[in-house]
Amino acid sequence: MKPVKLFHFESCPYCRDAKKWMKELQEEYPELAKVEVEMIDEKLQPEVVDAFIKEGHSYYYVPTFYVDGVKAHEGAASKDIVEKVLRSALD
What is the maximum span of the chain, computed from C-alpha positions, in angstroms? 37
Question: Which residues 6+ apart lie within 8 Å of 56 measured at CB?
Answer: none
What domains can be seen in the chain, in order of their start residue? 4-88 (3.40.30.10)
Q: What is the pLDDT of residue 90?
A: 96
pLDDT at 34 exceeding the cut of 90: yes
Mean per-residue pLDDT of the chain: 96
CA distance 51 to 40: 12
Tell me the average pLDDT across 13-31: 97
DSSP 2: -
What pTM did the predictor assign? 0.94
Burial 46-85 (b: 16+ CB within 10 A, else e): eeebeebeeeebebeebbbbbbeeeebbbeebeeebbbeb
pLDDT at site 91: 79
